[in-house]
């Protein structure tokens, strides 16, 4: 029999292993989703490893830890940073850009932070991204969870997007990027610039190293720069988001000429447009590639593919013809020396912390008077931003957003409305180019529960109240259930939290501009009203 000292040591070791996978500051227990877990628990995983809109992902390994970032466009805070120890189980540990410049004090759909790259160099983490209206910017930090330094403009210019830095063996630094046709007037070209060793400034003199328009590889973009076995490699997607493929370019010289090869496409799978991401080598010598798949209203979800090198060319996914790969739906997990517990990015929030969960973002730069957190009242959203005609919530800054977390899920919350005037409302939204909401409102001294649909929101469309009913209370439980494959949404409410009644009609979620649909909380007031109204959300649950 074991003595008490041995039992104690075993218990401590077990707790240490358990907590080693926990990097969510809101909990001491690893968060495990009720709606999507990629780790099958038997040594295999399923794709996508993140069934959420982490568009244009890039990855870096430091020691035994992996770090990922992704596009955030105009959602604030920007540049999410995720952490993993096995490439399958991920958690959010912070954001590299808490606020953006003053342009983003109001919603800017589709603008902002495009296709970042994360790299580790001389004890610093670097994230570069392209803002199509400004140029290429960079932030750095010694701690990937933050705080990060203020942004630096590395290279000014309209239409410069999708940058990736590269530090060569001799200390020279370079930057590769693509072009946005909407700003530059052309695309399909990859360009390399020399940088200073610190990676803070790029020489404006450019060298175009590859033209996809001349090689049947249109819309080539999202380049990632590497060096392997004496070759310079640029990994880049081509062919468009929905139906494209993954290219690898290689050369013995940093400025080319580059030869190219398709290294992954859809093949016979149902995984469309598999491309745009980054590759890492594990401590055990395995190679892996992450990329996104466009799933319409669900956004650009993240897949993990095995990768190997054949004749100094990468082959990504299953290499049925030893020439190019196709994506996997299920595969053996990467090898690790230790066991790491299942963990997923947080979704639900009890609103009992001093800060919002890292899964939340806003539609614009956050203001301190938008919300408050209290252990007794939960999340209080102040109805300070007022709706002008035509009541378009996609133009309101203080809408609290979260990514769709799975193909099938239900989002439920309890809200109490404390209005100071008529027509203040608060509730849940499925936000996108069309959006639909269920909310509580007060009019003529009475409370109502309503469901509405707003079509063509990005072009200032029109709202239609589908159904509303009177309420006898100022508080209500709200629920939206989302069902695959088309993200059909059903709205319901409850007065007791047990029996839910349907309201309105089914709504098909729509993606936003470059992003998936979002599940959102809101509290707003009518135009020209006095400030003072608010709504208290007790909790928010994804199940």
pLDDT in tens, 211-268: 999 999 999 999 999 999 999 999 999 999 999 999 999 999 999 999 999 999 999 9
Instruction: Say if 148 falls within a structural domain.
Output: yes
Helix, strand, coil percentages in the chain from 3-state DSSP, rounded to 5:
5, 45, 45
Residues 324 and 408 in one domain: no
Token pair for 87: 């490439």
Instruction: Say if 44 falls within a structural domain.
Output: no
Residues 312 and 368 in one domain: no
Predicted local distance difference test score (pLDDT) of residue 406: 98
Residues 404 and 289 in one domain: no
Residues 292 and 370 in one domain: no
Paired with 227 in beta bridges are 232
Provide the pLDDT confidence category of residue 532 given band limits of 50, 70 and 90: confident
Instruction: Say if 266 falls within a structural domain.
Output: yes
Residues 326 and 376 in one domain: no
Residues 327 and 372 in one domain: no
Of 285, 312, 332, the residue at which a domain comes to its end is 332
Instruction: Please give the average per-residue pLDDT across 46-75, as a whole number.
Output: 98
- The overall longest dimension of the chain from CA atoms, in Å, is 76
Residues 379 and 455 in one domain: yes
Instruction: Please give the average per-residue pLDDT across 482-508, as a whole number.
Output: 97
Residues 322 and 384 in one domain: no
Instruction: Read off the CATH number of the domain in which 148 is found.
Output: 2.115.10.20
CA distance 117 to 280: 13
CA distance 12 to 443: 58
Residues 290 and 433 in one domain: no
Predicted local distance difference test score (pLDDT) of residue 4: 41
Q: What is the pLDDT of residues 400-424, one digit of tens each?
A: 999 999 999 999 999 999 998 888 9
Residues 254 and 322 in one domain: yes
**Residue-wise DSSP of 151-195:** PEEEEE-TTEEEEEEEE-TTS-EEEEEEE-HHHHS--SEEEEEEE
Instruction: Say if 8 falls within a structural domain.
Output: no
Give the count of domains, the chain. 2
Q: Residues near 37 by Cβ (< 8 Å), separated by ≥ 6?
A: 342, 344
Q: Is residue 169 annotated as part of the catalytic site, yes or no?
A: no
Predicted local distance difference test score (pLDDT) of residue 350: 97
Residues 406 and 289 in one domain: no
Phi, psi of 473 (to 5 degrees): -145, 160
Q: What is the pLDDT of residues 162-198, one digit of tens each?
A: 999 999 999 999 999 999 999 999 999 999 999 999 9
460: pLDDT strictly greater than 70: yes
Instruction: Read off the CATH number of the domain in which 531 is found.
Output: 2.60.120.200
CA–chain centroid gap for 491, Å, is 25
Q: What is the pLDDT of residues 335-365, one digit of tens each?
A: 999 999 999 999 999 999 999 999 999 999 9
pTM recorded for the entire structure:
0.93
Give the residue carrying structure tokens 């803002």: 131
CB 262 within 8 A of CB 283: no
Of 290, 317, 332, the residue at which a domain comes to its end is 332
Instruction: Say if 14 falls within a structural domain.
Output: no
Q: Is residue 56 annotated as part of the catalytic site, yes or no?
A: yes
Catalytic residue of the set 39, 58, 86, 221: 221
Residues 384 and 316 in one domain: no
Predicted local distance difference test score (pLDDT) of residue 352: 94
* Lowest-confidence segment of 16-25, 170-179, 530-539 by average pLDDT: 16-25
Token pair for 123: 């004890």
Instruction: Say if 348 falls within a structural domain.
Output: no
CA distance 443 to 92: 40
CB 302 within 8 A of CB 54: yes
Provide the pLDDT confidence category of residue 18 given band limits of 50, 70 and 90: very low
Predicted local distance difference test score (pLDDT) of residue 14: 37
Within 10 A of 438 (CB to CB), how many other CB atoms are there?
26
Predicted local distance difference test score (pLDDT) of residue 22: 41
* Lowest-confidence segment of 1-15, 286-300, 491-505 by average pLDDT: 1-15
The parent domain of residue 521 ranges over: 361-542
Predicted local distance difference test score (pLDDT) of residue 28: 57
Catalytic residue of the set 56, 86, 162, 538: 56
Of 312, 332, 352, the residue at which a domain comes to its end is 332
Instruction: Say if 39 falls within a structural domain.
Output: no
Phi, psi of 414 (to 5 degrees): -115, 130
Instruction: Say if 355 falls within a structural domain.
Output: no
Whole-number mean pLDDT of the chain? 93
CA 73, 79, 82, 88 torsion: positive or negative? positive
Predicted local distance difference test score (pLDDT) of residue 9: 35
């Amino acid at each position: 029999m074991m003595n008490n000292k041995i039992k104690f040591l075993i218990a401590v070791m077990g707790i240490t292993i358990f907590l080693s996978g926990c990097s969510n500051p809101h909990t001491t227990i690893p968060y495990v989703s009720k709606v999507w877990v990629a780790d099958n628990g038997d040594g295999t995983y399923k794709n996508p490893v993140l069934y959420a809109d982490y568009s244009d992902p890039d990855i870096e390994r430091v020691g035994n830890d992996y770090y990922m970032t992704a596009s955030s466009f105009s959602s604030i805070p920007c540049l999410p940073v995720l952490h993993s120890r096995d490439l399958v189980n991920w958690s959010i540990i912070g954001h590299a850009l808490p606020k953006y410049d003053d342009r983003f004090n109001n919603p800017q759909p589709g603008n902002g932070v495009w296709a970042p790259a994360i790299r580790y160099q001389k004890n610093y983490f670097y994230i570069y991204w392209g803002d199509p209206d400004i140029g290429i910017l960079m932030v750095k930090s010694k701690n990937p969870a933050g705080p990060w330094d203020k942004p630096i403009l590395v290279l000014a210019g309209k239409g410069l997007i999708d940058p990736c830095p590269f530090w060569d063996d001799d200390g020279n630094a370079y930057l590769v990027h693509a072009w946005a046709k909407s700003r530059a007037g052309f695309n399909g070209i990859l360009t390399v610039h020399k940088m200073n060793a610190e990676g803070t400034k790029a020489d404006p003199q450019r060298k175009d190293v590859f033209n996809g328009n001349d090689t049947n590889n249109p819309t080539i973009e999202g380049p990632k720069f590497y060096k392997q076995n004496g070759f310079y490699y640029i990994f880049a997607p081509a062919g468009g988001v929905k139906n494209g493929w993954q290219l690898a370019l290689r050369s013995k010289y940093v400025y080319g000429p580059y030869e190219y090869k398709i290294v992954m496409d859809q093949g016979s799978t149902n995984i469309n447009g598999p491309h745009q991401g980054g590759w890492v080598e594990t401590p055990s010598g395995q190679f892996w590639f992450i990329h996104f798949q466009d799933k319409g209203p669900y956004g650009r979800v993240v897949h993990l593919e095995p990768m190997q090198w054949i004749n100094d060319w990468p082959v990504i996914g299953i290499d049925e013809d030893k020439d190019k790969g196709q994506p996997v739906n299920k595969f053996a997990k990467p090898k690790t020396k230790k066991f790491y517990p299942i963990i997923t990015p947080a979704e639900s929030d009890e609103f009992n912390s001093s800060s919002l969960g890292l899964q939340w973002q806003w539609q614009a730069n956050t203001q301190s008077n938008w919300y408050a957190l209290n252990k007794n009242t939960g999340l209080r959203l102040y109805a300070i931003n007022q709706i002008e005609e035509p009541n378009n919530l996609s133009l309101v800054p203080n809408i609290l957003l979260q990514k769709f977390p799975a193909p099938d899920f239900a989002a439920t919350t309890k809200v109490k409305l404390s209005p100071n005037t008529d027509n203040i409302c608060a509730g849940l939204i499925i936000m996108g180019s069309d959006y639909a909401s269920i909310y509580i409102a007060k009019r003529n001294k009475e409370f109502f529960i309503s469901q509405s649909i707003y079509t063509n929101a990005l072009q200032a469309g029109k709202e239609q109240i589908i159904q509303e009913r009177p309420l006898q209370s100022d508080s209500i439980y709200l629920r939206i259930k989302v069902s695959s494959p088309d993200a059909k949404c059903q709205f319901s409410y409850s007065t007791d939290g047990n029996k839910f009644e349907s309201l309105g009609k089914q709504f098909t979620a729509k993606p936003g501009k470059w992003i998936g649909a979002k599940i959102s909380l809101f509290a707003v007031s009518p135009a020209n009203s006095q400030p003072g109204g608010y709504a208290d959300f007790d909790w928010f649950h994804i199940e």
